[in-house]
Every structure is written in C-alpha cells, then in structure tokens.
Structure 1
Amino acid sequence: MFEIERRLYDEGHRFVACIDEVGRGCLFGDVVACAIILPQRYTIDGVRDSKKLSPSKREKLNGYILHDSIAVGLGRITPAVIDRVNIKEATRLAMKQALDNLTDKDGKRIIPSYVLIDAERIQTDIPQLGVIDGDNIVHGISAASIVAKVFRDSLCISWDKAYSGYDIAGNKGYGTAKHIQALLEIGPAELHRKSFISKIMEGKK
C-alpha cells in the first residue's frame, strides 16, 4: 500500500500530497475533495478506502488523521456548477481547490512537490500521478477519502435540517428508493443536481 509514496520519498520529495473525492454519484449536494500531506513513512492502522469503513470507524480515524497530518485542504463544488460543467470536471475542480487550500495547523499554505490523485489528473504545475484504485493502494489517498467523507457526511446532516423530506442525513444524497420517492412526491430541492435527476423527474410527467 505504500510503495508509490516510499519511492517518491526516496527520490527526495519532502511533501507528497494525496487527493480523493466523495459524493461523485450523489443526486444531492456538493462534490467534496480532500488533499492531505502526512508525515513521511507514517501510517495509521486501519486506514483504507472510506467506503469500506463503518461511520464510527471513519470518525475515529478522521480524528487521528487530522491530528497527525502536516497539512489538509478541502474543496467543494456546488450542484449548480456540477450541472453546468459536468461531474467529472466538477470533481477535478474540487480536487484542485483542495490542493490550493492545503494549510498546516498554523494556517500556513503548504505547496507539495508531488501530488498523488485517485484516478484523476488536475490542472496544476506540480508533478502529479493519477493512481487507478488509489484509495485502496495509496495510504495517503485512503486518508484523504476518510477526511472528505466525514466532512461531507457532516454537511449532509446540516442539509437534512434545511431540506427535510429527502432523508439526506440517512442516504447522504445518494439515490435510494426513499430519496427517489420523495423527489417524485415533493419535487427537487435547490441542492439537487438537476442533470442527475432529469430522467427521474421525467417519469413523474
């Protein structure tokens, strides 16, 4: 799981940033990305792709990651932008935003010398590598996926209070049967991705 990172450290890179996103397939809410720099050759037991962890385990690991990381940055792209540019481009924008927002615990911006990204490439002058299945084979990308997931889940709880009826706190914006039924019964909310729900809403006519 650490081969790529170790090779980069052996080549002399001091700060290697790892980036992942969550919420790409949701019907509701922002797509969120996290960029993170962990100490060299540092590992956290239990870190893996956030989708393979229970909510309580993610929360616990999130605390360790944020405490021990050198720098963390988050990026968010709204449904309106997703609808305008498409989800793939929006994901890249969120990842770039997260990279640009990398700061240490004192609020100082940290610029890495290399970037590892889960299966994507972004617009940056920093050398980068898109790693297929990166959230499973790169420790730092797994850590980024956990931080992004915990952050977005907290947004879902807030969104659920503001946009009741869709069970966003429970389904996290994904297209569950209950969520789709609510769409058909009460219609879309402001934060629904119109480009994602168009076929669902066509079935209402």
Structure 2
Amino acid sequence: MKAEQTPLSWDTPGLLAGVDEAGRGPLMGPVVAAAVILDELNPIKGLADSKKLTPQRREALYDEIRAKALCCSIALATAEEIDRLNILQATMLAMRRAVESLRLKPNKVLVDGNRLPTLAIVSEAVIGGDAIVPAISAASILAKVYRDRWCAEFHLEYPQYGFASHKGYSTAEHLAALREHGACPQHRRSFAPVAEVLR
C-alpha cells in the first residue's frame, strides 16, 4: 500500500510569509513583529521557536535569516500605542505593519497563535507555529533578537531598571526598580504593576 502524505492546510503555491511577535508580556517597550518569506533554494538549518534557542544561537540565526531569506520585515507598536489600543490590538498592528512592509507580496500569511491581524492577503493562524512552520520560526527569531537588542540599547539610557537582563519582564528586580525609581517613558502605563506605582 502506497503511503500518502496529507497536504497541510498551508501548503499553497506561491510565496508564503511567516509572522510572529516578541514582547507582549513585558512591562515596558514596544511589541515587535517580524514577517519572513524564506527561500526554498537557500535553506536555513536549525530554525526553531526562538524561546528554545540560546541567545548566541538566536543571534547567529538572525544574521543568517537576514542574509538568506527572500525578504523580511520587522515592525513594532510603541508603548504609547499599547496603552492606547491594548496589547492585543497593538500586537495585531505591529504584525500588519510587518507584512505590509515586505518587499515582496506573499500569496499567504501564516501567523503564530490563534489570532490574526486584518490583512488584505489570505492568512491563517497556526497554534504553535513557531515550532512547526520554518517561516514562523524565522520570524520569531527576528522579532526576539530585535527586541532584545532594543532593550540592551535602552538600558544604556536607564541602567537603574536592569532592562538588559530582564528585557522588561515583571521580575523581582524590575518591580523593585519600579518602586524605587518610578516609571520611565517606555513603561506601559496600562499594565497593572506600572499603574500601581503611578497612583
């Protein structure tokens, strides 16, 4: 009996873009989204969910993705936009900006998770997509590395918060710094731990 592979729902002809984000959970800074169209003739080994890679491996893959992908785009929604829209809508905005900034127009967009931004292109949400769809894995790496670099740069301006180490997440160190120094311009005022110190 001949075995047949069931085609996946995202197996469509034409250019495929993967989209993912980084930075929904932190108390500060932008949420970053990336969109990537990989080149099937120039494969990249070792793509995986960015959270499962070491920082050094992410950095190396970031450069390789930028060099080998057919095209890629990184976009963000600012802390101010997050406060104005809410984190979900700001994430969708960043994703839409990333897709719309691609140099090539994809035939289909696959987005990690269970929500989709409003796009004028056929799109599909893929739960756990950063682990099973290479283009989404690549997007997750670009978004994560870009945001981590952003945090490291912003740390130089506000070293008292420790952004370079915790990347804005709600760690004990970060919360203690918030209580001691108050909020900086990049803190998300709509997030409860930040709102508490502003009362």
TM-score by length of 2: 0.90
Alignment pair present for 1:80 and 2:84? no
Deviations 1:162-182 (A, max 9, x none): 122110011111111100000
Q: Which runs of 5+ in 2 are unaligned?
A: 1-6
Does 2:192 correspond to 1:191?
no
Question: 2 CA distance for matches of 1:78 and 1:157?
Answer: 16
Distance (Å, rounded) in 2 between the aligned partners of 1:74 and 1:63: 13
CA–CA distance in 2 between the matches of 1:5 and 1:28?
36
Contact 2:34 2:75 in 1 (8 A): yes
- Note if contact 1:43-1:139 (Cα within 8 Å) is conserved in structure 2: no
Per the alignment, residue 145 of structure 2 pairs with 150
Aligned partner of 1:137 in structure 2 is 132
- How big is each residue's C-alpha offset from its partner over 1:115-142, in whole Å with a ceiling of 9 and x where there is no partner? 0001121111100001011111111101
- Aligned to 1:115, which of 109, 112, 117? 109
Code of the aligned partner of 1:52 = K
Superposition CA RMSD, Å: 1.8
- Give the C-alpha shift of residue 101 in structure 1: 1.1
Looking at structure 2, the residues matched to 204 and 80 of structure 1 have their Cα atoms a distance apart, in angstroms, of 16
- How far apart, CA to CA, are the structure 2 residues paired with 1:97 and 1:204? 31
- Gap regions ≥5 residues in structure 1: 103-108
Alignment of 1:156-175 (within 5 A): 156-175=151-170
* Residue 180 (1) aligns with residue 184 (2): no
**Aligned sequence identity (%):** 42
Instruction: Number of aligned residue pairs: give it.
Output: 192
